[in-house]
Every structure is written in structure tokens, then in C-alpha cells.
Structure 1
């Protein structure tokens, strides 16, 4: 961990905040001013370890050292005159890693008392020799002396051993990785680095390179490089520095996606060398047969000899124990936390490094000691389903919603963790992002009031509640539908739509669409369109005049950069990816929202059309040829039938060419049973469906549908339907015998108040309705009409 420049503690110099970003620091205690004036020495030391702090008073120095966390690794340089005063008082501290004694008399380089303190590396006269020795020792020991941040927890039905830190850290990381990254966050992170490495020319050069050349496909290379990136990210994760993890979240996501994309497809036996104190070993031994979770990325190697070599010899750190982790990792267990051989992406390809994702869970199988005094810790990678906390984790993650999270979600988690100041900070940060008319404002005011009460600041709590009441009257008539806000009575939308994608005739330019089918809208009102004939997925940002190619667009085909007739697209916000119904390729694929090549074929050999995903990660797919809907769990080789599969027909247990689907919170599936001109609802576990709209043959009365396509169901069971050949959008309330026309009262056409073969449907978080206007090759947005 490190801070800005060199920090002095005399009255002539203002101390920099000691919230350092790196694990290692150098502390120099000297009773003369020679080092303060020797800028070249400072520069050389900082090129090894950035944080350098100088003391001239032993009591102040000791107090500072004692206040540091056990996660810190302090390299102590002390003058001969002060060595015997301070070393006996600090030698036992976990955070003190090594001690170097700087003496003036060559004849007294090794006093007898030194042998009592094994952390003393050497006594030296020449400053240049001292610097060289520190550099050599640091290079060989820095990776294996950094302590692993591990959460330990027990299995079994008893709550004994339940580790709250494990649960909340998993939930916290899940929340942060599902949160949208903004350019301002990157700028803030860069600014922190510039302050941190002020006057450190070497790191500033790397930082400049990072700003200019970083890309998501270089995330692993940067992680393996000896630079600020690796050192600060690792400390943030190990010390659970939430502010830094928040700013780093996009880069953590980049590494995650690379590990997921290149996930090992064969079981691996890997190694990691480590130095540990005896107490840490004894603590681990209590958990043999139980589970451990590593809070940072875990670097290992496939080469046994490489790991043994890195451990060094017995005398390298005589007060520590040499440890060799032996890990068995089966890719079948890597359901949520992937691992991959990163050799071809690493700066050190010869190390055969295998990297495990943050939060990987292992079973601690055995701990033993060899005749060479090397402790062997054997572990096995586990899935998240093997421990008894899995249900708690799933429930807590589900409470945070499916898909993208926000700063309010983060604030709630921090509040539950008892980190009230941080919760207060991120709630206020969220307020800065909201518009004045956003309905969330009053809820955030309530959140801030609750945090103030928990802190004992009752006056401030009342002030926040007064603010909440002041804005509450603006929303009295509003209710929440999913992520949209829609009036409970007289639900209606303006009849004149606004073109938000396409609308420039059919074509393959980025400002055109060619018979689009499905769409989805994210929380920022960006629209993702399945541009069917162009064999691509295109993103249209809010108010954009042309789209951005995300997937496909390289002609029809089945290569890694191609799609063939995509029908539907949804967002998996947990992985920041798109899931695409690649219809004519008969597959469902995952594609990064950043573009490039597809990341994964999720399902093969399926005549897919519509797709939907639930909060708990189940994927539903309609099969138009088998006339059925199947539910898939990511990683399944075959799905489970949840509707149809009784042949083509119009019985209640049959479907005829099902197209778009919607799945509610109870896992009931709503189906556009297109050729039967009806909407079916199949309750979870049912053997047959229920007709909830249509079923009076095709026609244009309000009791009828004509080849229905897209559909969305709100929490009041109101069904919104793209009534394709009637060129209208219908709404069917629960139990109604007929629907009402929501959009399209003016018949077929290409005017702003008309549609031609509407297909996909979606709402944004404000309740605006988006419609694929199929034959007009455009997407229309119909704004919520809030006028009385």
C-alpha cells in the first residue's frame, strides 16, 4: 500500500493521507537529516517501492507501525543508533516484513544482538549496497509474502462457522460487477493514481501508457505486468477497499470476461507457493474439510518446479513457513467464478500461469508437512452449490434484483454491513446522478434518513425525511411496473411515436435496419435491436442518429463473428453481455456488449425464436419447430420442457409456432402462440396452459389477435401484445374477455401514429413503450402520457 510521494512527519512537511494503494511501504527511521536531503536515494527507493515514509523520532515511528493493518508489508530501514531502541518493540508485528540496519562503522556491521531478530536482513554501511539488497530481496519475495485474503466458513446445517464476511463480500462484488461503469469513474481512478505516484517517473510512464492503450482484451496482460495496476488492484481486493473496488469494477469485469471466454475445458492440477506465519497455518488447520473463499484473484502455475523455486530456500524468511498450495480445478465446478490458463496473454508466458476469478471457493482437503519443512495445503475448487450458505447468497443477490445494479443498491448493502459512512457517501453520489423528476429521489432521501438515524444523527435524519415528504406528493399517483413508472389509472401512451432506431428505409448502413425482429432496452434507454436480414445486433444510444455494431454484421454464417437471422436479444446484466437467438444457426449465443466475437454458444441445435431470463439465471427459449418452450440453466446440455411438446395443435397442452415469450417472477411463462392467434400462460409445473388473450380465431375485433408477436407482462398481470397483422399494440387485463388498443388506432402505415407489422416490444424504466415496426424498418418509442 502506498501514498503520495515521500511523506515526512516533521512540522515542516504536511503528511499525506495514509490510505495507501499498495501493500508494501518503506519506513526509514534515522536520527539525522541526511536522508531527507538525499533526493537521489529517495528516488531510487521509490523506484522499488513507491511509498516511503521518514521518521526521526522512534516513538512516533513505533506508533505509526503499530497502527498499520496486518495486510500491510512494511520494510523497515533503521539507523544503527536507533535499532536497539525500536526493533525489540516492533519485531513481533505481522505487518513488519523485513528490517535493514544502516550503520556508519564497517567494523560493527554484525553485532551479536542482531541474531535474536530473524527479520533483520542485514547491516550495511553503503547506501547503494543497501538499495541493491532491498531491491533483490523485494523482487524475490514480493509475490509470496503478500498474504492471501481468505474467508473461512463451515459446512453442515449448524450456523456455527457461518462467516458473515464471506456472504457480504460475495454480495458486494456481485453488486459492483453488475453496475454500469462510467467514464467519470475511470477519470477519478486515474486522478488517484497520478496523486499516488507523484514524482515516481517510472509508474507515471506506465500510467500514461495505460491511459492511451488500455483495452478490455489487454486486461490480463496488465494484471500480470509489474505495475501499479496489479499492485493497487490486489490490495483493494485483499483489504476490501470498497472505494477502490468501485472504481476498478470495470477492469475486474474485463478480467472476468477474459477468464470466462478462455475458461479451461479440462481439469487442471496447479500450484502456488506462499510464505505464511505459523499462526495462519494453525488457523487454516481448523477448517480441514470445510470451505475457503479467496477474496482476490488467485495466481497459480501448472509447473511444480516453478512454484517450488518461487518459494525460495528455508532461510529466505526464517520466521515464516514455506507453503505450497496444490489445487485440483475441474471446469465443471467453475459455474460462476471461472479460471483459465493465461499464458498466452501474460507478460510472463513461461510461468504457465492459471488465474482464478475473485471469490473462487475451495474445499480445504488436507494440510501436511514434508521432510523438507514445506507445508502442503491441498484444496479442490468447488461450485457455489456445495456449501450451505448458497441459499442465503442466492436470496440476498435476488434482493438486489436481476440485471444492472446502481449506487442505491450498493448503499443498501453497505448499510447492512454497518459501513454507514460509506453508505451515506454512495447514496449522495447516487443523488448527483438523478434528474430532479426522477421518482427514486424520495426513496434515496428515506435511505439517507435511515443511515443518519443509525449513526445517531437524528437531526439530520429528520431533515432528510422532510425532503422526502416534500417531493412525495409529485408521485402519489404513480406505481412501479418492473423498472418503469406508470400511473395506476387511465394507462395510456401518446399516439405519435418517435423513431429511435432506423427509419431511413431498409438497408445495411448503421443508420438503417432491415426487417428487425426483437429488441431490448437498458436502464439508460439504449436500444439493442435484432436486425434480422442484416444478420447483426445493433445498439442505438439515446438520441443517436445511427447505431453501433455489437454482434454479427459480417454476412450470414456460423463463424465466431457472424449471426444468421437473429430473432431476439436480451441483456444479461450480471455478465454485461447480450444473449441472442441466432435463429437460422439454430443456436443461442452470448456476446459481449463491447462487441468483438461471441463469447459462448449457450444452446445448440434448437429452432430458437423468443428468449427470456429470470432473476435466478434460468434461460427460457421457444422452439418454433418442436412447438415447445424449454428452460435451461447455464451449462446444461439439455433443457427441461415447461410448455407444449405435445405436437402442433390448438389444445390447451399444445402450441403452434410459439414466438416471443415472457417469464414472470413466479416462473409462469407467457407465450405468443402465434398460429393459434392467442396468448397462453403456463404456470410453473403445469401440464397445460391457460388462454389469457385471443383464441377467437384471427381477426381485428378487440377479442381477437392476428399472429401475435412480442409481449410484456407487468406486475398487475396486464399483458401488452404486438398484434402483428392488425398493426396495433393491445393490452389485456387479468381475466378480461377482450383487450384495448394501446397504440395503432389509425391503422397500417408509416406515419408517426401508425405501424406496419409490429413485432418486438419493450419498456424502459420510465414506462415508455418501444415497438419494432417491422415493415417500416424502424423502432418507435411511444412516451407515457401523464396528462389527465
Structure 2
């Protein structure tokens, strides 16, 4: 709710990129949400009618080993874990200072992130911190006696392995009621068999993370398209824009490898893989590298599943190649299917789902779902069945076979047979590109085989293509790097947005025409965080560049944004003191500088005199209400630009409407003047059923209501 209020109050003005200034009323005005939805349409057309006004994002969990544990716990990597899994070796008899190096090298053959613990309580405390990874826990025999009952039912613990000299001593754990220690995979006395078991289960887990992304209700990677008709997947928009941004391939490759080397430092196996990638990688073998169990496969899947935008920016060089490879392979697949006289491709996916997840599927039969990441399936139902029965056992979890029917004449998302590139060709893998969408056709239970069968079919072209094509059209009209920054701020990733945009300074240079837009977007990100001083600073830079190049429509919009920032500052200060405030005289000076640029026709001398006199009158005692007056004047000056510099009557009406809308609280007389003028123009130039006429009538009713003229208000409703 709070995010919606912030969005409505201070950022609505950013949502119509082709209109002069947007509304910025407090969230208590319910109709602001209607206007917001309309302005979103203006930005990205029908595509963004599905973009959420706010993103319910869960912050990624940044886990690190607490310094207080340094004597009893060793971590192979002090960075945030970028992979899906963490491997923990817990042995209370181990010497952290002497036994870790060789043991770490051994374990890193199957997993990068390793923790070695000698204190059982410390190990438990650490496990409790884990939020975004699955844990593979190795317990020594003695540690198992003390730990297994404590950790077994932790959700983040995927599987448990006992490593000891005397396996007979601990076999009773396997002989217990199988439901009690169902996560215990086995008891091992040799490293080779232990590592083989862990490696197999890690591979299975990563594969499963792709499949469950279709169904898990608490995952961001699930998308129920039918229930989100007004909330399009912003991540998909990010994907399309990300893959269309221009970049230097060699530089992007160097940056990716440098980041990976820094992350995997100390991991000999992965550093060797990185060196091999650097020396041998070609854009045409992206599929082969993805199918290998190396750093690329793991980092890409984790970044996609958790929607780690910063990681995706670093990895986009490889993701772009992989998507292009799949597209080309999909063209080949369609040709083969055409030669066979059939457009249908059937593939399967083995999975494990909880009862609530299965019920959710049954409840949503006929609706559409989508994934964020790449989705791995198999041509073989037998292979899918093997995968479905693999992995650690789970209480309340049932085996599921997902059967996917694809009509290649309708599916717009690419898929490809990739067995020839895979290290596991017998799996007959079929890989779907990012964002594959399906309709849930049927969910049944096979009593004989004790397995659920979920049937999905590819979503028809008509369902998705209109939205996608609208975005692609928008992509051709807007610089991709700027649109990517815009999407980041829309999704609420403000610091990442600023970091990304600041990197564009070197790309474009200080005098480039895009610099104005970059400063505007940075200002927008600060506005969302209510850092109004920083927002104003960047908006002013944008304003100077727009006005110096006679881009008056953009200049008026930014001026309106600055006014909204002052409005936000006033509200914030009023909330703190509940009385009129004295503000720094610098604020007033900024108003005058803004006002100075509003004067058109080159009459700057008189403008300077006018604002300097105004500043002298207010510089000593600037109260809250006087600033509201300045805010009103700022809006009026905004319209002066629109009136003289913008020739389109429709856009003039939009500017009038926005100003009047903002003034409904502070200056009812001015509000009525602007709102009524906007309606007058719209009735002349727009079709009678245009939604903008409805908005104007709504605000006319609001004006009459504030004047207690209820009969007149009703006429406009």
C-alpha cells in the first residue's frame, strides 16, 4: 500500500513519456489510480496495460558468514552465493585451521560454495540464515547423532549425507521408519561415492528449479497470465529490452569473465572452466556451454530464478547468444516438422510437487502460466519418469509428469532439440527459450503408476504476440540502453538503475543528446526513494539540456517533475512537524532559477528581475504555505511553455489537465480554470468516447464538489 501511495503521489508524472507533465496528488484521491493506468498505456501502448503499477519484489538475501563464527566455520567464498546450492560439511572433530584447504578442493569438484563447520550450534545458526539456496549437508558420524533430528525438517535443507569410517554403526538411520529421515540419501565411507551422489542430486535440483518455477505459488518465477491481465510480467519486458541493447561484445565478454574469475577465485575447477571458455567460446556453441555443469549454467539459472537484474546485466552477453542459438534451432525444428506433415512437438518433464501446488494446477485449468528462465524438457517420457523419481524424498510431495504439447505454427517462444550438444545425449533434451507460456489443459492422477499427469499446451500466437509486438515497436522508437534504465526504475531497482545509467556517461559522453534523458531517469529513481534534493539536482541538469536544445515538451515535463519534488518535500516536512516550516533559502532560489527558464520569447532580463525581487521578499521567512504558492506558480509557468511551444492541441489539453489535477488541493480557482479549459479542447479534438474526456469530466466533478456545487458535479459523472 505504501509503495502504491509513493508511486501515485510523486511518480505518476513519469509514466506518460509523450505528455507534458503528469499528476501528482496524494494517494487519498482514488482516481489517481485510473489516471496512472492510462498513463502507463501512453508509455508502452497496449503492452504495458499488463505492467504492474508496483512490483512486489522480495529483496535478495545477502548471506555472509558472521565474523563471530570465524573460529568454527570456514567459507570457501566470502561473496554472496550466486549459485543455487551450498554444500556444508559439519564435523565437530575437524580442525578449521588445518583441514579445510584439501577438503574444500575436494568438495569444489561438485559445488563451488562450501562451508566447513566444527561447531554444531554455529552450523545451525548459519542454516537458519539461508533464504535463496538449497543446502546439501554432510554430517560426520558423531555429528549426525547430534544434528540429524535438529536439521532434518528445515525447508532449506535439500538432502543429508553421513560420512564416516564405520557405516554399520549408523545404518539404523536408514532402517528407521522411512518417513522419519526421508532426506538422508546414504551413508558413505569413501569420498568418490559421496561426491558422485552429491553431484547427481545437485544436477537434479537445478533441473527441478526450472520446472517448479512453473508452479510454485511463492516463487517470483511463476506467472499466472490469466489472473494478471492488468499486471504484465515486468521481467519479460526486461528480457526483451535487455536482449536488444547495443553493447561491445568483446568488452561484455571480458567483463563477464572478470566478474566470474573474481567470484570463483580459489576454485581451481571453475577457474579452469573460465579459462577454457575464454579461449574456445564462440557465439555458435552457447547451447553446448549451457548444457555443461559449469559456472555459466549455474549462474544463469540462479540469476533468472531469483530475478537478479545486476547478474543478468553481466551475463547478457551469453544469454543473448543462447537465445539466438535457440531461435535458429527452432527455425530448423519447424522446417523438419513441416516436412513430417505435423506441427506438433510433445515433450515431458519429471517433477515433484506438493499437494497444494497440484491443487492450484487443478483449480486453474484453462488458464495460462509462464516461466522466467529456460525450461528443460525431454522427448522421452521414460526419462521424465526417471527424473520425477530422483532426488531426496519429501513428505507431502508427489511425483508428477508434465506433458507439453507445442504447436510450432503458433508458439512464438523458441524451443530446440539440444541432445547433440549435451553431455547427456540419452536424455533427449528439448530446451525452451526464456518466458515460455502454456495453457493448463488437464490434471489427472494415474492410480496404477501412482503418478500425476499434468498436460500443458503452447499458448496461441494471438494471446501473446500483440503485447510483445507493441513492445518491439516501442523498442524501435527508443534507445535500448535508455529503455532498459527506464524498466529498472519502474521495477523498483533504484540503485541498480543509477549504477547502470552512470555507466552510460562514458558510453555517450557529456554532450550527447541522451544525457538529458539519463539525468531525468536518475532523478526519477531518487524521487521514488523520496530523496528529493538529489532528484531535483538531476532534474535540473535534464531541464538545462532539454531547454538548451529547444525540446520544450520534455523541458515542461521535467519542470513539472521538479514541482512534484517540492510538493513531496513540503508534505514530508509537514508530516514531521504538523505545522508550517521554515525552509532553506536555497529552495527559493532554485524556484527562481526554474522560473527563469520558463519565460519564453527570450525575455530573460525581465524574468531575472522579477524572480530576484520575489526572492528578496521571501528569502528570510519562507513558510510551508508560501512554498505551496510557489509550487502553484511553478505549475503555471510549466503551462506557459506548453501553451507557446507545444502546437498539438491534444497535448496542450493534457498539460492543462495535469496542472489542474495537481491544483485541486491547493488552489481550487486555478484548478477549475485549467480543468475546464482542458475539457473544452478535448471535446473539440477528440472522439466522443475517448477516455481522456472521461478523465476531464471526472476532475470537473471534483472541482464542483470542492465548491459545494453538487448538482453541477453530478452532471459530469
So what's the TM-score if we normalise by structure 1?
0.54
Question: Are positions 1:440 and 2:502 aligned together?
Answer: no
Question: Are positions 1:53 and 2:115 aligned together?
Answer: yes
**Distance change (3 Å), C-alpha of 1:314 and 1:136:** closer
Paired with 2:156 and 2:509, the residues of 1 have a C-alpha distance of: 46
1:323 is aligned, of 371, 389, 400, to 400
Aligned to 2:373: 296
1:239 is aligned, of 302, 306, 310, to 306
Question: Residue 305 of structure 2 contacts residue 373 of structure 2 at CA under 8 Å; is this kept in 1?
Answer: yes
Question: Residue 438 of structure 2 contacts residue 456 of structure 2 at CA under 8 Å; is this kept in 1?
Answer: yes
**Deviations along 1:566-614, whole A, 9 cap, x unmatched?**
xxxxxxxxxxxxxxxxxxxxxxxxxxxxxxxxxxxxxxxxxxxxxxxxx
State the 1:185 CA deviation. 2.2
Aligned to 1:64: 126
Question: Are positions 1:375 and 2:452 aligned together?
Answer: yes
**Distance change (3 Å), C-alpha of 1:315 and 1:467:** closer
Paired with 1:5 and 1:193, the residues of 2 have a C-alpha distance of: 18
Paired with 1:204 and 1:5, the residues of 2 have a C-alpha distance of: 22
Aligned to 2:237: 171
Matches within 5 A, 1:68-79: 68-70=130-132, 72-79=133-140
Q: State how many pairs are aligned.
A: 471
State the 1:55 CA deviation. 3.3
Aligned to 1:355: 431
Aligned to 2:495: 421
Question: Are positions 1:192 and 2:192 aligned together?
Answer: no
Question: Residue 378 of structure 2 contacts residue 430 of structure 2 at CA under 8 Å; is this kept in 1?
Answer: yes
Aligned to 1:256: 323
State the 1:402 CA deviation. 1.6
- Partner of 1:334, secondary structure, is coil
Paired with 1:3 and 1:44, the residues of 2 have a C-alpha distance of: 26
Paired with 1:438 and 1:140, the residues of 2 have a C-alpha distance of: 49
State the 1:437 CA deviation. 0.9
Paired with 1:5 and 1:456, the residues of 2 have a C-alpha distance of: 30
Matches within 5 A, 1:152-167: 152=222, 160-162=227-229, 164=231, 167=233
Paired with 1:50 and 1:214, the residues of 2 have a C-alpha distance of: 22
Q: Answer 1 or 2: which has greater strand percent.
A: 1
Matches within 5 A, 1:538-687: none
State the 1:132 CA deviation. 4.7
Question: Residue 63 of structure 2 contacts residue 130 of structure 2 at CA under 8 Å; is this kept in 1?
Answer: no
Q: CA RMSD in A?
A: 3.6
Question: Residue 300 of structure 2 contacts residue 312 of structure 2 at CA under 8 Å; is this kept in 1?
Answer: yes
State the 1:255 CA deviation. 2.3
Question: Are positions 1:311 and 2:378 aligned together?
Answer: no
Paired with 2:364 and 2:503, the residues of 1 have a C-alpha distance of: 40
Paired with 1:241 and 1:104, the residues of 2 have a C-alpha distance of: 42
Aligned to 1:134: 198
Question: Residue 364 of structure 1 contacts residue 379 of structure 1 at CA under 8 Å; is this kept in 2?
Answer: yes
Question: Residue 76 of structure 2 contacts residue 104 of structure 2 at CA under 8 Å; is this kept in 1?
Answer: no
Question: Residue 5 of structure 1 contacts residue 200 of structure 1 at CA under 8 Å; is this kept in 2?
Answer: no
State the 1:461 CA deviation. 1.9
State the 1:369 CA deviation. 2.3
Question: Residue 91 of structure 2 contacts residue 139 of structure 2 at CA under 8 Å; is this kept in 1?
Answer: yes
Aligned to 1:118: 182
State the 1:422 CA deviation. 1.9
**Distance change (3 Å), C-alpha of 1:367 and 1:78:** same
Question: Residue 2 of structure 1 contacts residue 23 of structure 1 at CA under 8 Å; is this kept in 2?
Answer: no
- Partner of 1:326, secondary structure, is strand
**Distance change (3 Å), C-alpha of 1:455 and 1:268:** same
Aligned to 1:33: 94
Question: Residue 259 of structure 1 contacts residue 340 of structure 1 at CA under 8 Å; is this kept in 2?
Answer: yes
Question: Residue 299 of structure 1 contacts residue 356 of structure 1 at CA under 8 Å; is this kept in 2?
Answer: yes
Question: Residue 407 of structure 1 contacts residue 426 of structure 1 at CA under 8 Å; is this kept in 2?
Answer: no
1:285 is aligned, of 350, 353, 362, to 362
- Partner of 1:332, secondary structure, is coil
State the 1:129 CA deviation. 5.3
**Distance change (3 Å), C-alpha of 1:76 and 1:192:** same
Matches within 5 A, 1:92-103: 92-102=153-163
Aligned to 2:170: 109
Question: Residue 185 of structure 1 contacts residue 247 of structure 1 at CA under 8 Å; is this kept in 2?
Answer: yes
Paired with 1:127 and 1:288, the residues of 2 have a C-alpha distance of: 47
- Partner of 1:226, secondary structure, is coil
- Partner of 1:188, secondary structure, is helix
Paired with 2:82 and 2:233, the residues of 1 have a C-alpha distance of: 25
2:486 is aligned, of 412, 434, 442, to 412
- Partner of 1:427, secondary structure, is helix
- Partner of 1:76, secondary structure, is strand
Question: Residue 4 of structure 1 contacts residue 16 of structure 1 at CA under 8 Å; is this kept in 2?
Answer: no
**Deviations along 1:526-581, whole A, 9 cap, x unmatched?**
xxxxxxxxxxxxxxxxxxxxxxxxxxxxxxxxxxxxxxxxxxxxxxxxxxxxxxxx
1:449 is aligned, of 523, 541, 544, to 523
Paired with 2:239 and 2:478, the residues of 1 have a C-alpha distance of: 13
State the 1:305 CA deviation. 2.1
Q: Answer 1 or 2: which has greater helix percent.
A: 2
Paired with 1:60 and 1:379, the residues of 2 have a C-alpha distance of: 45
- Partner of 1:255, secondary structure, is helix
Paired with 2:543 and 2:283, the residues of 1 have a C-alpha distance of: 44
Paired with 2:222 and 2:200, the residues of 1 have a C-alpha distance of: 34
Deviates more, 1:102-111 or 1:322-331: 102-111
State the 1:254 CA deviation. 2.0
Paired with 2:288 and 2:187, the residues of 1 have a C-alpha distance of: 38
Question: Are positions 1:207 and 2:266 aligned together?
Answer: no
Q: Which runs of 5+ in 1 are unaligned?
A: 481-788
State the 1:434 CA deviation. 1.9
State the 1:46 CA deviation. 0.8
State the 1:195 CA deviation. 2.1
Paired with 1:346 and 1:80, the residues of 2 have a C-alpha distance of: 38
Question: Residue 2 of structure 1 contacts residue 50 of structure 1 at CA under 8 Å; is this kept in 2?
Answer: no
State the 1:59 CA deviation. 4.7
Question: Residue 223 of structure 1 contacts residue 230 of structure 1 at CA under 8 Å; is this kept in 2?
Answer: yes
Paired with 1:426 and 1:446, the residues of 2 have a C-alpha distance of: 14
Aligned to 1:464: 538
**Distance change (3 Å), C-alpha of 1:425 and 1:28:** same
1:224 is aligned, of 281, 288, 291, to 291
Paired with 1:314 and 1:479, the residues of 2 have a C-alpha distance of: 60
Paired with 1:142 and 1:355, the residues of 2 have a C-alpha distance of: 14
Question: Are positions 1:20 and 2:81 aligned together?
Answer: yes
